[in-house]
Chains A and B, each alone.
Chain A
């Protein structure tokens, strides 16, 4: 069945050169596009990736593709950022000097707090703004006719044999949006509108997918957040213990202890959950599929299903997912590409009644 196009398809018109474009645009416009690239332009498919990727995804890029986020989502990441920054500011203003100028060697505790806070802050930025492992589009285009119609066979789930030491076959699937045969464990994120390698989940708190290339940063973020909160608690408790007089003398310390009591649980529980997920060789997406629920998987009992990726032991599984190499970025926002690159072309979308 021919596919219905909702927009004109890309053609030779995509090969407008950068010079033509730059000639018509002032340096200010180009500078602002470098600063923030909000939208893609169907007519510009040349230059660096950050100019073309918004054509085919919901990404917004900053500083020439150095940072990214996803448009059209609630800015919950700003809330998380303020939860990270505000306590540090309060601690620096009201607490640090009191602990720093003591003779009892509390300086090391202050240094530990700042160290873990810096690691938390950087890993949050890296998790939220780096490439989670985006897969290129249109690599497996079946044909040109009928508006790039997808062959019927490409809608099947394909079962392929695995090695004799693996119990079970592997099933792979074609992504009709990205026009690729997806590798194992990757999936399409409808929020970002891209396919991600070893896709764990789309995290609304960092507004980015958690996948093969930023899972490491996500785990560092969670664990360092727990440590920085513990050191914040310890430092404030020492201040209170050393202070004579009533609570009026140390209101900020009390406030920060309350803050730690309320916030330390979420990263701690989430990190523990990911230890169990990795130990049983499951991604959040696979776990959600196995429990058949859309409820918060963090509070669901961990089920160990028969899993072809299982390495046999908890520790081996843990190592394989948590220490996994990041691998190369296949769709780099900073690399140049030639004009008319198919990876950045938005081909006609499939009709609504076709299976996605």
Chain B
């Protein structure tokens, strides 16, 4: 098993064969083992470092019950699936833990296997790149959700030579930028046809609402606009021991 720093060495030293991995995860050797409530944290060897794959839920206030009871699994941005992914936010369609350079370790099943407790609140982590999201969604379901999000992002607001953008450029040039300032409220008055597309928002709302795929699994997808399209964040229940 290798840790993430080894992965980075690998990727930087051989740029021709850089492999994709979830760069949000990190490892930590000093942690409490599972089993007893009052276990004392101790140092572990390279092969048994914890791999931190879920993070504080920054979409809930710190003191709230939601913050205590939920965590965030981040699906990273990916740049190797299409040329325009350098400009348009596109996210990995692979479940965290199944990327080409993910840490697999002794975990051949690919699932989230609990190893120890770490961080404020004694959260449970495994020793591989697999995250608690693996217990809630399968690879095909996640791929389908991310593929559709990527498609919406590609269509909405990032197309350089689309009529909406080019029209906006011309009208901004003619009005000195007044168009962008006034167009939002003006187009809203002209009816839904002219409004900025809200298809991605509607899709995410549908996934998160009762009857939606994610709602049924107890997962919530954070709207990419809320996370600045920096990562595709899934709010999952706090993993139990």
Contact = CB atoms under 8 A, between A and B. Distances in A.
A120 B176 contact: yes
B8 A140 contact: no
Interface in A127-156: 127, 130, 135-136, 138-145, 151-154, 156
Contacts of A339: 61
Interface string B59-86: 1011110000000001011111111011
B53 to A, nearest CB: 12
Nearest to A172: B23
A325 interface: yes
A88 interface: no
Contacts of B175: 119, 122
Interface residues of chain A: helix, strand, loop or mixed (majority): loop
A143 B63 contact: no
Given A120-B176, A140-B74, A143-B52, A161 B63 contact: no
Contact of A217 (B27, B64, B177): B177
Interface string A303-346: 00000110000000001100111111011000000111111000
Contacts of B58: 138-139, 141, 342-343
Contacts of B225: 328, 330
B24 A323 contact: no
B121 interface: yes
Interface residues of chain B: helix, strand, loop or mixed (majority): loop
A250 B46 CA distance: 84
Contacts of A12: 61-63
B81 to A, nearest CB: 7
B230 interface: yes
Contact of A158 (B23, B81, B160): B23
A159 B15 CA distance: 8
A139 B61 contact: no
B4 to A, nearest CB: 5
A340 B64 CA distance: 9
Contacts of A15: 61, 63
A284 interface: no
B80 A141 contact: no
A221 to B, nearest CB: 8
Interface in A213-252: 216-217, 220-221, 224
Given A118-B176, A143-B56, A154-B26, A181 B4 contact: no
A160 interface: yes
A69 to B, nearest CB: 16
Interface string B162-192: 0001101100111111101100000000000
B166 A323 contact: yes
A170 B18 CA distance: 9
B228 A162 contact: no
Contacts of A122: 175-178
Contact of A183 (B55, B89, B159, B173): B89
A153 B80 contact: no
B120 interface: yes
Interface in B1-56: 4-5, 8, 11-12, 15, 18-20, 23-24, 26-28, 52, 55-56
A163 B61 contact: no
A153 B26 contact: yes
Interface in B202-241: 225-231, 233
A145 B12 CA distance: 30
A41 interface: no
B90 to A, nearest CB: 10
Contacts of B87: 309, 320, 324
B79 A216 contact: no
Contact of B79 (A11, A170, A180): A170
A126 interface: yes
B128 to A, nearest CB: 16
Contacts of A126: 176-178, 180-181
Contact of A161 (B19, B59, B229): B19
Given A122-B176, A135-B230, A319-B160, A170 B86 contact: yes
Contacts of B105: none
B26 A151 contact: yes
A169 B74 CA distance: 22
Interface string B141-169: 00000000000000001111100011011
14 contacts: A15-B61, A126-B180, A140-B230, A142-B52, A151-B52, A156-B5, A159-B12, A159-B15, A160-B80, A220-B177, A224-B176, A319-B160, A323-B169, A327-B157
Interface of B: 4-5, 8, 11-12, 15, 18-20, 23-24, 26-28, 52, 55-56, 58-59, 61-64, 74, 76-83, 85-87, 89, 118-121, 157-161, 165-166, 168-169, 172-178, 180-181, 225-231, 233
Given A169-B15, A181-B24, A183-B89, 15 more contacts: A118-B176, A123-B177, A139-B233, A140-B74, A152-B26, A154-B26, A170-B79, A172-B23, A180-B228, A216-B177, A217-B176, A323-B160, A323-B169, A330-B225, A342-B58
Instruction: Sort A-B residue pairs by CB-CB distance and give the 10 closest, nearest first.
Output: A340-B61, A122-B176, A126-B177, A12-B63, A119-B176, A151-B26, A144-B120, A342-B58, A330-B228, A153-B26
